[in-house]
Amino acid sequence: MLSFGEALAYATKQAMEHDARVFAYGEGINDPGGFFGSTAGLKEAFSEARCFDVPNSEDALMGFGIGASLMGYRPLFVNLRVEFLMLAMNQLVNHAARLPAMSGYQYTIPLTVRAIVGKSWGQAAQHSSALHSMFANIPDLQVVVPSSVEDAPRLLLASILSDAPTVFIEIKSLYDCKALVHLPIEPLPLGKAHVVRQGSDITCVAISDMVGFAQRVSEQLVADGIEAEVLDLRSLAPLDSAAILNSVSKTKRLAVFDIGWEPFGLAAEVARIVSTSAYHRLDAPLLSIARRHEHTPASCFLEEQHYANEEHAANSIRALVRG
């Protein structure tokens, strides 16, 4: 049994063992228990030359990773919070994502950027927002959103092995989970969704810790005779539209479970995929399950209202399926 953090550390270690061009860096990466265990042991195994602490300079550090990538390295830049990437957006969006195209595809940028979405426990507005939709709008940037201890190391390994710049978004709540992880880690293909539950009444498209949420909601619905199909997208870019359309062609109903905000978010993108398809039509309105479109409040009382609620989601699906 490995914890989420241990599983990520294992995958990183494996990548670093396998390829000397992989190195990891981040603010506080070598703190005892740093990054919730997900970087533990790297320094010991590979020395500070390949796993190093850095100044608090996100913008420069993102550029640093790009530069090393241009020279053939496969850097892993670890960030404690996804909000910190806002300081590095110029390098991420204007450079990491664009340079391969701008150069006429003379080179690739195999940079992986890990960032954690805080959740609950009063993290408040600046430490718990989910900003994946922003990244997924940008061409040539991969956005990976693991949902489980089993998948996360496999997707991380795939990200590190991939030649495209990749933002790998974890959510803090998953760090509490443990699971059996097959060793050595086998990379998963990016852009392939995973049917985590089969069903015929409604397609639940989910990412990150909302996959578990959707699974729990689905279990609740069994008593009502509702069989939900739960699809874990695993990555937002590339996004497995075929898997969504395939499932929807069977269920004709669709719910989207996002860790982020609705406007211009995942539910929107999934709606676009289905709406623009010539062959697939829904029999019912699309149901969107997401956090409120507000900055996360700090208070535990307000947090309760901010995040999606399983009971409420189950009721919404019941109402939808019963028509």
Partner 1 sequence: MALTNLPQQLLRDLHEKMFLIRAVEERIKVEYASRRIRGPVHLSIGQEAAAVGVLHACRQSDVCVSTHRNHAHYLAKGGSLAGMVDELFGLDTGCCKGYGGSMHLMDLNANLILSSAILAGSIPIASGIAFALKNEGTKRVCIGFLGDGATDEGVFFETLNLAALMKLPLLFVVENNAISTMTTFSKRQAVPDVVGKAERFGVRGMTVDGNDVLSVYHAAQDILQGMRQTHEPFVLETVTDRLCAHVGPIVYPSGIGADDTLQSRWMREPMLILNEKLRSEFPDQLDASLARERNLRESVDQVFIRGAQRFDADALRLQLPAAPPAQDVRRV
Q: Residue numbers of the site for partner 1 (CB under 8 A)?
A: 27-28, 31-34, 36, 49, 53-73, 75, 83-84, 86-87, 90-91, 94-95, 99, 101-107, 118, 120-127, 175-176, 295, 297-302, 304
Query: How remote is the C-alpha of 165 from its chain's centroid?
Result: 14
Nearer to partner 1, 141 or 231 (CB): 141
* Alpha-carbon separation of residue 277 from 200, 241, 242, 270 (angstroms): 20, 10, 10, 11
3-state helix, strand, coil in the chain (%, to 5): 40, 20, 40
Helix axes 310-322, 209-222, angle to 10 degrees: 50
Q: Does 179 bind a copy of itself (CB under 8 A)?
A: no
Segment 124 to 143, residues that bind a copy of itself, using CB under 8 A: 124-126, 131, 133-134, 136-140
Give one DSSP letter per residue of 169-222, joined into a string. EEEGGGGG-EE---SSPPPPPTT--EEEE--SSEEEEE-THHHHHHHHHHHHHH
Task: Considering the candidates 127, 182, 280, 293, report the single residue annotated as catalytic.
Answer: 127
Q: How far is the CB of 56 from ligand TPP (least distance, A)?
A: 5
Instruction: Give the pairing of strands 228-232 and 194-197.
Output: antiparallel
Nearer to ligand TPP by Cβ, of 58 and 201: the residue is 58
57 binds ligand TPP (CB under 6 A): no
80 binds ligand TPP, rule: CB under 6 A: yes
> What's the gap between Cα 22 and its chain centre?
21
| Cβ closest to ligand TPP, residue 62 vs residue 211 | 62
Return the structure tokens found at 115.
Answer: 């960032």
Look up residue 299 and give its two tokens. 């208070």
* Residue 268 binds a copy of itself, judged by CB under 8 A: yes
Place of tokens 């996100």: 58
| Residue 127: active-site member | yes
* Closest distance of CB 165 from a copy of itself, Å: 12
In this structure, what are the phi and psi dihedrals at residue 275, rounded to the nearest 5 degrees? -65, -35
**What is the spatial distance between Cα 253 and Cα 262, in angstroms, rounded to a whole number?**
18
Residue 86 engages a copy of itself in binding (rule: CB under 8 A): yes
Q: Which of these segments, 79-87, 223-231, 232-240, 313-321, binds ligand TPP (CB under 6 A)?
A: 79-87
Give residue 102's identity as a one-letter amino acid code. Answer: M
Q: Is residue 84 a contact residue for ligand TPP (CB under 6 A)? A: yes
Q: Identify the CA nearest to 244 among candidates 218, 267, 212, 221.
A: 267
CB of 290 to partner 1, least distance (A): 19
Contact with ligand TPP (CB under 6 A) among 54, 60, 87, 271: 87
Asked if 93 is part of the footprint of a copy of itself (rule: CB under 8 A), the reply reads: yes
Interacting positions 20-49 with a copy of itself (CB under 8 A): none
> Is 25 among the residues that bind ligand TPP (CB under 6 A)?
no
Q: Are 4 and 174 in contact (CB under 8 A)?
A: yes
Q: Does residue 303 belong to the site contacting a copy of itself (CB under 8 A)?
A: no
* Euclidean distance between CA atoms 277 and 227, whole angstroms: 24
Give me the active site residues, please. Answer: 127
Task: Give the residues lining the site for ligand TPP (CB under 6 A).
Answer: 27, 56, 58, 80, 84, 87
Task: Give the residues lining the site for a copy of itself (CB under 8 A).
Answer: 59, 83, 86-87, 89-90, 92-94, 97-98, 101-102, 124-126, 131, 133-134, 136-140, 236-237, 239, 254, 260-269, 271-272, 274-278, 282, 285-288, 293-295, 297
